[in-house]
Amino acid sequence: MTIRHVVSWKLATTDETERAEQAARIKAGLESLPAEIPEILSLEVGVNALLPGDNFDVVLISDFADADALDRYVQAPAHQTVAAYIRSVTAARSAVDFPA
């Protein structure tokens, strides 16, 4: 059963320029992962375009063959590097994993 992994982040900064730079760095980092982590079946990253004060700033939508594949992705060194940066610049995170 395919698992869809959806994660959203709210950046901590209130500076528009810094927010754009951080969102772009997160997007580039996440989009680099499929080349490093074979468990990723598909991956899409979106940066919020509307209502920046209300909406979350970045969203990840990715698919994995099963929960074990998702766990291997989470533990992969390449993911850990990107996740460390994301944690350093975000104020909030939400995630949902569901059968797709």
The domain defined by 3-99 folds into Alpha-Beta Plaits (3.30.70)
The pLDDT tens digits for 14-25 are: 999 999 999 999
Tell me what percent of the residues of the chain surpass a pLDDT of 90: 97
What would the mean pLDDT of 18-46 be, rounded to a whole number? 98
Q: What is the 3-state secondary structure (H, E, C) of 15-58?
A: CHHHHHHHHHHHHHHHHCHHHCCCCEEEEEEEECCCCCCCCCCE
Which pLDDT value is given to residue 29?
Answer: 98
Which pLDDT value is given to residue 52?
Answer: 84
The pLDDT tens digits for 44-78 are: 999 999 988 899 999 999 999 999 999 999 999 99
User: Which pTM does this prediction carry?
Assistant: 0.96
Domain locations in the chain?
3-99
